[in-house]
Amino acid sequence: AQKITQTQPGMFVQEKEAVTLDCTYDTSDQSYGLFWYKQPSSGEMIFLIYQGSYDEQNATEGRYSLNFQKARKSANLVISASQLGDSAMYFCAMRERDSNYQLIWGAGTKLIIKP
Amino acid sequence: NAGVTQTPKFQVLKTGQSMTLQCAQDMNHEYMSWYRQDPGMGLRLIHYSVGAGITDQGEVPNGYNVSRSTTEDFPLRLLSAAPSQTSVYFCASSLVAGGPGEQYFGPGTRLTVT
């Protein structure tokens, strides 16, 4: 079974609009962490945001926020006021304590911002 | 700080050849890992290490060896290259295995096996 599911292979969004990238996860571990990374066309992996399973507040980092719904096992990334530079692949990943903290990745969502 | 460095950036191998991908970090991170990224897929963990002298297998370890003799270095060895190992390889490190610490990634090595 997929541990991390990103159901949107690709998305087009108008510049300045907000965008939500979906991520659902599967775990029976009580202690885990969820990450979002951005990969521009240049290929590097850029850390965006982290949410711990015990964190009660949704994580925020500038224009990025993580909509964490623990009961639904979802960890959607919200980008407010999108910019042309946000065009990239976005990956959701999970790290579980019971798996020795190995980072498991989703297949990614390709986001294209239209001017 | 140089962060995480990887060499080479590009490599072409013939089937059956062996080679070592180098990875080094200067942040005194305990945790290091190797991933491969194939088109249309997320990263898949090959091997990881929680400290010098300790390594373990990830999701796709077959055909690869690692060692961690120092905190700084974590080389990945391809024993006998196969076309299925054509991929982009990323090395990453984090301060510790768990917790909120992000993984810092190297720039990647693009490997082609013919």
Whether residue A70 has pLDDT greater than 70: yes
Gap between the Cα atoms of B50 and B29, Å rounded: 9
Gap between the Cα atoms of A102 and A111, Å rounded: 26
The pLDDT value given to residue A102: 83
In this structure, what token pair is assigned to residue B20? 């070592």
The pLDDT value given to residue B67: 96
Q: pLDDT grade, residue B5 (50/70/90)?
A: very high
Residue found by looking up tokens 């990238």 in the block: A21
Burial A8-25 (b: 16+ CB within 10 A, else e): eeeeebeeeeebebbbbb
Closest-CA distance, A26 to chain B, in angstroms, reads 16
Gap between the Cα atoms of A20 and A26, Å rounded: 20
- Which residue from B29, B27, B22 is spatially nearest to B7, judged by alpha carbons? B22
The per-residue pLDDT for range B44-81, each reduced to its tens digit, is 999 999 999 999 999 999 999 999 999 999 999 999 99
Mean model confidence pLDDT for chain A = 93
Q: pLDDT grade, residue B114 (50/70/90)?
A: very high
Q: Chain A partners of B43 at a C-beta cutoff of 8 Å?
A: 45, 91, 93, 103, 105
Mean model confidence pLDDT for chain B = 93
The per-residue pLDDT for range A52-69, each reduced to its tens digit, is 999 989 999 999 999 999
Whether residue A50 has pLDDT greater than 90: yes
In this structure, what token pair is assigned to residue A83? 């910019």
Gap between the Cα atoms of A88 and A77, Å rounded: 14
Give the one of A100, A104, A106 whose C-beta lies nearest to B97's C-beta: A100
Percent of chain B residues past pLDDT 70, beyond the cut: 97
CA distances from A88 to A80, A85, B15, B53 (A): 15, 8, 33, 37
- Which residue from A68, A78, A80, A60 is spatially nearest to A20, judged by alpha carbons? A78
Q: Chain A partners of B97 at a C-beta cutoff of 8 Å?
A: 100-101
Residue found by looking up tokens 């945001």 in the block: A49
The pLDDT value given to residue B42: 86
Q: Chain B partners of A100 at a C-beta cutoff of 8 Å?
A: 48, 50, 56, 97
Cβ(B71)–Cβ(B26) under 8 Å? no
Which position has the higher pLDDT, A100 or B36?
Answer: B36
Partner B contacted by A89 (CB < 8 A): no
In this structure, what token pair is assigned to residue A6? 């990103």
The per-residue pLDDT for range A89-115, each reduced to its tens digit, is 999 999 988 777 788 999 999 999 999
